[in-house]
Amino acid sequence: MRARQGPEHRFELDPPPPFLTEEVALEKARETLRLDGLDPSEWVPNEDNRTTAPDGHADVHFVRNTRNPNQGYIQFSRSEPWGARTVYLELDESTLVTQVWLPK
């Protein structure tokens, strides 16, 4: 069984950042939820604290790919009705691509 995924969304970041910050990742992840028809105010980003940004900032919600700090995901949940969504993000130069995945 595979996870279901929504459409890809593209955001142009101008000027292009040196790397994907957690702040931008969280902002665009919420925007992606909205674009997929979900109310971002109903979804809470889960804390993870697993990774660190290239500038040494500890990530709270954004889980970075250890080989490419411009790739990663943020998991969201809600309690009523219960639900979970994962937003994957990847920055390539100035283009940020995002996509919502539903868990299996």
Tokens 């000027």 found at: 15
The predicted pLDDT at position 45 comes to 98
Beta partners for 35? none
Task: State residue 19 phi and psi, 5-degree precision.
Answer: -160, 165
- Domain range for 72 is 4-102
Q: Are strands 44-45 and 71-79 parallel, antiparallel or unpaired?
A: antiparallel
Domain count of the fold of the chain:
1
Residue keyed to tokens 């700090």: 69
Q: What is the pLDDT of residues 22-80, one digit of tens each?
A: 999 999 999 999 999 999 999 999 999 999 999 999 999 999 999 999 999 999 999 88
Give pTM, 2 decimals.
0.93
